Structure 1
Amino acid sequence: MSSSINPRTYDPVPARRVAFLGLGVMGYPMAGHLASAGHTVTVYNRTATKSEAWCAEFKGVATVKHAKTPREAAQGADIVFCCVGNDDDLRSVVLGADGAFAGMQQGAVFVDHTTASAAVARELYGAARTLGLQFIDAPVSGGQAGAQNGQLTVMCGGDAAAFDAVRPTAMAFSRAFTRIGDSGAGQLAKMVNQICIAGLVQGLSEAIAFGQHAGLDMPLVLDVIGKGAAQSWQMDNRGKTMVEGRFDFGFAVDWMRKDLGLVLDEAKRNGARLPVTALVDQFYADVQRAGGNRWDTSSLITRLAPKKD
């Protein structure tokens, strides 16, 4: 088993020919789980050396190769998975003469794991249908650790038949792969997820900072209240590192601000009022100004923690 993914048991499913576009901190291990589950995988990455490194790592696990363009990667694939940065990155690997849609065979399914706007999901869903293809928006939650462990939670929007066709294959890197509704519903569900996280992290930051100002043994306090109603994933996985002031890991502040920008734009369209989310977004801007662009999102506490002597 490769060092970039952690061992897990894969359910037996028919081997498929798949492509994976985008080998970042999420895509690299996700594609690795597909190979380790026995699928034939062709990868594409904008920086070709990353594709070459991935193939070198997984060549002993399954049939793997890398392609020079998204179109080349998508040729002959039953399913094309993708995980890139934002709406524009997504369009660049999907559309145009070298885009994935130009290489996909009739009936093939494009599954997009990028956290992007619901609008671009619906746009590409429509473009796919015109070409006789299928498109599923499928943003993920679980972070880099979830990708490495093959334990991502995936929220999907799109046609039920296409979803059913890809789900068994996608379970190679998922703990849950769920259809939320029609095209765009996956992205909207991810926005709900990010709203929850923003509020939780700010609340946890204030709680820890309060306890530190009060002179409490905060690791002990977190152990105690973590057994009660205050328990959360953020407390379990980030509480003690927040106390220690360690943030050089995890989901970067830059990424969270990108996601919250999508949330706030969508709220303007649908009329939702998000006062806490908007405020936390500005708090993250403070962290960026302090040089914390690549710090984990739990670094919100840096605005509040007592100054060390």
Structure 2
Amino acid sequence: MSNLSQQKVAFVGLGVMGFPMAGHLQQKGEQVCVYNRTQHKALDWVAQYGGRSAATPAEAAAGADLVILCVGNDDDVRSVVYGEQGVLATMSPGSLLIDHTTASADLARELALACKEKGIGFLDAPVSGGQAGAQNGLLTIMLGGEEADFAKAEATLMKYARSARLLGAAGSGQLTKMVNQICIAGVVQGLAEAMHFAQQAGLDGQAVLDTISKGAAQSWQMENRGSTMLQGKYDFGFAVDWMRKDLAITLNEARHNGATLPLTALVDQFYAQVQAMGGGRWDTSSLLTVLQRKG
């Protein structure tokens, strides 16, 4: 691979996460070429950060030391990896493919095998921290793959992360992200019910939050979403549509590994009700709206 301070990086997928993540790499010394399905986003990125854009994933990946993906789902990943225009068509032996997409563990294992056949390394690397974490370079990255590949990638990943940890073989990063989403779903539902109870009891919700956030009930969700929940503000953050995608992956994995997730399944159905209310793009903290409607 190239000198660590001058790596050639292809970044595929410039959504609300990928756009700033690729920007951190360019600003911190990497030579970045971007691809996005909607070309104007790639042009906007180049205008803001410099670097280059490519017309296809294959063109972006040609000559790259690292190829990084951050797209929507399993099918989106396959569409930019395989075929004549996919990144594997031009990646060189010894290069490394990193997938930040929250996708299935089965896809991660599939990609690891496809890369191995071509002498290419692979890491599944879903992230947590949301849009703010991406913009501020403070993401948590959960990785699956080989230790040697992680060692090659770690310095680059830390240019937009506060934590990056290898958790096992290919698929382990995706499985850990599923654990992460299970925890979030339960905590947000608990917070929504607590705020609903406070409102129904006639309490000053903000005063309650200020008080209980100093004790054992404190959580990231309480600190970052409690006040906006009380204000009914949901037009930001991690969308319900995205959470339902993640929970579908999680519940499907649970059916295969025998895990019992009754609370996660229930919260997933509450999110379906939010979608039915037109809140598919609302933040996940919008679970409170379901309770308020029933009340």
TM-score interval, normalised by the smaller of the two chains? over 0.9
Instruction: Answer 1 or 2: which has greater helix percent.
Output: 2
Which of the residues 62, 82, 87 maps onto 1:95?
Answer: 82
The match for 2:152 among 162, 165, 178 is 165
Q: Which amino acid aligns with 1:143?
A: G
2:205 and 2:22 mapped to 1: Cα distance?
39
The reply to whether residue 191 of structure 1 matches residue 175 of structure 2 is no
Whether 2:246 is the aligned partner of 1:259: answer: yes
**Do structure 1's residue 69 and structure 2's residue 60 form an aligned pair?**
no
The 1:255–1:21 alpha-carbon spacing in structure 2 relative to 1, beyond 3 Å, is: same
What value does the CA root-mean-square deviation take over the aligned residues? 1.1
Match of 1:271 among 258, 261, 265: 258
1:126-141 matches, within 5 Å, as 126-141=113-128
The letter of the residue matching 1:297 is T
- Give the aligned length: 292
* Alpha-carbon distance in 2 for matches of 1:207, 1:164: 43
- Does the Cα contact within 8 Å between 1:213 and 1:306 map onto a contact in 2? no
The CA distance in 2 between the partners of 1:15 and 1:152, in whole Å, is 22
Residue 231 of structure 1 corresponds to 218
Deviations 1:201-232 (A, max 9, x none): 00000000000000001101101100100000
Task: Please point out which of 69, 72, 78 is paired with 1:85.
Answer: 72
Partner SS state of residue 292, structure 2: coil
For 2:286, the equivalent position in structure 1 comes to 299
Q: Give runs of aligned pairs for residues 141-152 of structure 1, distance below 5 A.
A: 141-152=128-139
The one-letter amino acid of 1:102's match is A
Cα distance, 1:305 vs structure 2: 2.7
Post-superposition shift, 1:15? 2.3
Structure 1 consecutive aligned stretches of length 4 or more whose deviation exceeds 2 Å: 305-308
Q: In the alignment, is residue 241 of structure 1 matched against residue 232 of structure 2?
A: no
**Matched-pair contact (CA < 8 Å) for 1:212–1:306:** no
Q: Aligned letter for 2:99?
A: D
Answer yes or no: is the 8 Å Cα contact 1:44–1:70 preserved in 2: yes
User: Could you tell me the TM-score, scaled by structure 2's length?
Assistant: 0.98
Q: CA deviation at 1:304?
A: 1.2
Q: Which residue of 2 aligns with 1:14?
A: 5
CA distance, structure 1, for counterparts of residue 266 and residue 136 of structure 2: 33
Deviation at 1:307, TM superposition (A): 8.6
**Identity value in percent:** 61
Report the equivalent of 1:5: none
The partner residue of 1:58 within 49, 52, 55 is 49
